[in-house]
Each structure stands twice: as structure tokens, then as C-alpha cells.
């Protein structure tokens, strides 16, 4: 830091102002706030998570308390201690208590008779308004089954690329509660550098589909602590670079808690190789989720990973390393060691029951809506109270 030009002190030019408090809006403010609040939590005997730096856990013989530092989300099994902790926070910091969570980081949290529903209806409406599509007709699926070859030479350049990039960036955050959109959002994110009119047409179709599911959200309910995951890949279906798409989703009991749709960084020379890379990514996610649950003192059985490729499953159980798989050696050893240590089970599932198809490829309307229900992306209780046809994409006809 230096004294500003025009305000330098002639005899004390080496001195600068010291801020006793980080001002809101400065680059150092978030770091200073996190350091101050985490120091307070440590003084209250909280333990920082090794898996998530913003998560703190306090475990006693009779209770457990969990606090997340974003907008400060607090939960626990002992209401008396939570009331005491809130009192200590008020005594140390100037804060406003908002009561039970109903809106968190742009996500609406609705309590139901069986659990909770997370929705971003307000956020999705803002995206539609930004695109000028509030009054558009809805589509029954976000992507056509036969996706046209989106080549950089097959169409005219988009005249306003900033609109496309802004909309796609906003859609990425929408996938937090809409896992059914992960695949198509991943697809439209791959054309940021040289945009064409056909790319924007794909985004408009996606927005018209969102118009029909504004009232939907991700449902959660209480149940068993059994960790399962599904992995899949769409081998070499990208016509521009022939890279495969990895898709996986993880369930805790009946609740979907993690998912991903991502293009693989290298070209796979066989479907087995592409599937094995997907297995490795899903195994890493299961490992992280297991550690996260262990920190919350939630013991879970050995997780099961379901795959529809018998060759990839055989490779994961085979103790003999073959030369033809040397290019995926790291993935091979990681998965193999977890199986040998009995920290992971890999089982076969028929393709017709593979949930992760929705993360890797375009699907028919019937198949898409079936898998969407398996992800528990369902109408929220608020939308069920009325008779708004916009919450039922299966009733909307494409135009």
C-alpha cells in the first residue's frame, strides 16, 4: 500500500492508513470475515471440516451441531445448545436472526410433511425475463434427440455473443436444484469461443423447457444412510473432437445429493475406456462423500457403484494390469485399490435402468421424464396448490 497520488505527506510518505475493520466491498473483506468468524467457532470447540473449509462441526456425547459459513446456516440435534450458540453469536457480532431457513443463496427451501423441497423458481423466472422469454410457449424436453452437428462452419456467427454467455453462465447456477438440466447446460457451455446462431437456438429451446417446469424442485426426505452411485459415459458422441461425456449421480438413501455431467479431457479409444474413466470420477465422489459423512459422525455401509458396462466392471476387479490399459493407469489403480480395500462395491445394472443416461445423451420425451422423476425433480408443494399448467411440461406442445 502507498499513499494516493496528490495526497502524499511530504515528511511521512512511508506511512499508510491501517484499517481496524475490513470494509465491505474490499477484496480482503471475505477473507477477514472468514478468519474472524472461524476463530470464534474454534473458541466454541467447533472442529473445521477437512472436506469443506466453510463447514464446522461440534460433536458431544449427546448431540451434534453443524454450522456452514455462507449466510450462516446452523442446524443440530440439541435445541438448547443452538439457542445458547445464537446468543453467543449475537453477543460477539452484529447479526440478524432470520429463523428457520426458507431462502438460502437464491434457493427457496420449503418444508413438507415428508422432508424439504429446494427450488429456484424466482431465479429461473429472472433468467427468462433477461432473455425476453416470459411469455414463450414451453417445450416438453430441453434437447432434441438428434442434435444437429454444431460445427463452427455450418452457421452464421451470433451477432450478440454477450447475451449467450450471460444466459449460459446463469443457467449453470440453476443446475443446483435442477440436475435434469446438467447435460444440456454442459453441452451449450462448450461453444463460448465461436458462437453461432444454432447455438443460441439450443439455449432458447432450453429456456422454453424451463418455462414449463418453473414450479419444480429437488425433493429430500428422511431415510436410510445408504450411499449409492451410478456412472455412465456416452462414448465419442461429440462430433467435433470425439471426446466422451462422463455422467454420474450419487444417492444417500432415496435422496440425490451429488451429480455431474462433464466432457472427458482426453479422447477414449474404446467404450470400455470411457466407461472406466466415468467409474473413476464416480469413485472419487463417493470417497469424498464418505469422508464428509464421517465428519458428521454418520457411519454409512460400503457404497455401491452401479455401471452398465461389463468390460469396465471386469477391469476394476482384475488384479492383473494389462498393457492395453496403461493410458488409464492412474484411474485403474485408484478404483482397484478401493475395491481391494473393501471400500467400494461395483455392480452391473442394465442400460434400461441406468439413471445417468440423463447426464450423458439426448433422450426421448418419455425416457427423459421417467429419469427426471428418478432424480426427484418433482412439482413443489406450492405449485400443487394451484392449477397452473406451466408446471406440467408433459402437457405442453412444442411450437
- pLDDT of 391 > 50? The answer is no
pLDDT in tens, 179-230: 999 999 998 888 887 788 888 888 999 999 999 888 899 999 988 889 999 9
The phi, psi pair for 224, rounded to 5°, reads: -75, 155
What pLDDT, on the 0 to 100 scale, is given for residue 387?
A: 39
What domains lie within the chain, and their CATH numbers? 1-99 (no CATH), 116-215 (no CATH), 223-356 (3.30.420.10)
What's the Cα-to-Cα distance from 227 to each of 127, 161, 186, rounded to whole Å?
Answer: 34, 42, 25
Confidence of residue 148 (pLDDT cuts 50, 70, 90): low
- The residue ranking higher by pLDDT, 259 or 381, is 259
pLDDT at 68 over 80: yes
pLDDT at 71 over 90: no
pLDDT exceeds 90 at position 397: no
* Bridge pairing between strands 55-59 and 47-48: antiparallel
**Nearest Cα to Cα of residue 359 among 179, 145, 171, 149:** 179
**pLDDT above 90: residue 126:** yes
pLDDT band at 144 (very low <50, low <70, confident <90, very high): confident
Q: Is the pLDDT of residue 103 over 60?
A: yes
pLDDT of residue 399: 28
* Average pLDDT, integer, range 77-88: 92
Classify 305 as helix, strand or coil.
strand
Q: What pLDDT, in 10s, does the model give residues 2-61?
A: 787 777 787 888 888 777 776 777 777 888 888 999 999 999 999 999 988 899 999 988
Residue 289 or 299, more confident = 289
Q: Assess contact for 226 and 252: CB atoms under 8 A.
A: yes
- Convert the pLDDT of each residue in 335-380 to its tens digit: 888 888 889 999 999 988 999 999 988 888 899 989 999 999 888 7
- Poorest-confidence range of 89-98, 111-120, 144-153? 144-153
Strand (E) or helix (H) holding 34: helix 29-43
Q: pTM of this prediction?
A: 0.82
Contact 157, 193 (CB under 8 A): no
Neighbours of 315 (CB within 10 A): 23
Between β-strands 107-111 and 103-104, what pairing exists: parallel, antiparallel or unpaired?
A: antiparallel
- Rounded to an integer, the average pLDDT of 323-331 is 62
45 conformational bin, left if phi > 0, alpha if psi -120 to 50, beta if neither: left
pLDDT digits (tens, 9 = 90+) for 158-185: 878 889 999 999 999 999 999 999 999 9
DSSP per-residue string spanning 42-100: HHTT-EE-SS-TTEEEEE-SS-EEEEETTTTEEEES-HHHHHHHHHHHHHHS------S
Burial grade of 208 (CB within 10 A; 0-12, 13-18, 19 or more): buried
Helix%, strand%, coil% for the chain, nearest 5: 40, 20, 40
pLDDT digits (tens, 9 = 90+) for 239-290: 777 888 999 999 999 999 999 999 888 888 788 888 888 999 999 999 999 9
Amino acid at each position: 500500500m502507498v499513499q494516493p497520488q496528490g495526497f502524499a505527506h511530504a515528511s511521512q510518505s512511508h506511512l499508510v492508513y491501517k484499517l481496524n475493520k475490513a470494509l465491505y466491498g474490499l477484496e480482503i473483506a471475505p477473507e477477514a470475515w472468514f478468519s474472524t468468524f472461524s476463530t470464534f467457532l474454534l473458541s466454541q470447540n467447533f472442529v473445521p471440516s477437512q472436506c469443506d473449509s466453510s463447514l464446522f462441526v461440534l460433536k458431544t456425547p449427546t448431540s451434534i451441531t453443524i454450522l456452514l459459513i455462507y449466510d450462516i446456516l446452523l442446524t443440530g440435534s440439541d435445541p438448547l445448545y443452538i439457542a445458547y450458540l445464537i446468543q453467543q453469536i449475537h453477543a460477539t457480532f452484529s447479526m440478524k436472526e432470520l429463523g428457520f431457513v426458507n431462502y438460502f443463496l437464491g434457493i427457496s427451501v420449503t418444508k413438507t410433511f415428508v422432508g424439504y423441497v429446494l427450488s429456484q423458481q424466482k431465479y429461473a423466472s429472472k433468467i427468462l425475463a433477461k432473455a425476453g422469454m416470459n411469455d414463450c410457449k414451453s417445450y416438453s424436453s430441453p434437447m432434441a434427440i438428434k442434435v444437429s452437428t454444431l460445427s463452427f462452419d455450418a452457421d452464421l456467427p451470433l451477432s450478440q455473443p454477450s447475451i449467450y454467455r450471460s444466459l449460459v453462465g446463469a443457467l449453470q447456477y440453476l443446475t443446483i436444484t435442477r440436475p435434469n438440466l446438467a447435460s444440456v447446460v454442459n453441452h451449450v457451455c462448450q461453444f463460448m469461443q465461436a458462437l453461432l446462431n444454432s447455438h443460441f437456438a439450443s439455449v432458447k429451446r432450453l429456456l422454453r423447457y424451463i418455462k414449463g417446469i418453473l414450479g419444480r424442485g429437488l425433493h429430500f426426505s428422511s431415510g436410510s444412510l445408504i450411499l449409492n452411485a451410478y456412472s455412465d459415459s456416452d462414448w465419442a458422441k461429440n462430433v467435433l473432437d470425439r471426446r466422451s461425456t462422463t455422467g454420474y449421480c450419487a444417492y444417500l438413501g432415496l435422496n440425490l445429493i451429488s451429480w455431474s455431467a462433464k466432457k472427458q479431457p482426453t479422447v477414449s479409444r474404446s467404450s470400455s475406456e470411457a466407461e472406466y474413466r466415468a467409474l473413476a470420477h464416480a469413485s472419487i465422489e463417493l470417497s469424498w462423500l464418505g469422508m464428509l459423512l464421517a465428519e458428521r459422525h454418520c457411519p454409512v455401509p460400503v457404497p455401491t457403484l452401479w455401471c452398465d458396462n461389463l468390460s469396465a466392471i471386469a477391469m476394476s476387479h482384475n488384479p492383473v494390469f494389462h498393457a492395453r490399459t496403461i493410458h488409464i493407469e492412474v484411474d485403474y489403480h485408484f478404483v482397484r485399490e478401493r475395491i481391494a480395500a473393501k471400500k467400494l462395491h461395483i455392480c452391473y445394472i442394465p442400460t434400461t435402468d441406468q439413471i445417468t443416461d440423463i447426464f450423458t445423451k439426448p433422450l426421448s420425451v418419455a425416457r427423459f421424464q421417467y429419469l427426471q422423476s428418478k432424480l426427484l425433480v418433482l412439482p413443489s408443494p406450492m405449485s400443487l396448490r394451484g392449477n397452473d399448467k406451466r408446471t406440467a411440461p408433459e402437457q405442453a406442445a412444442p411450437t
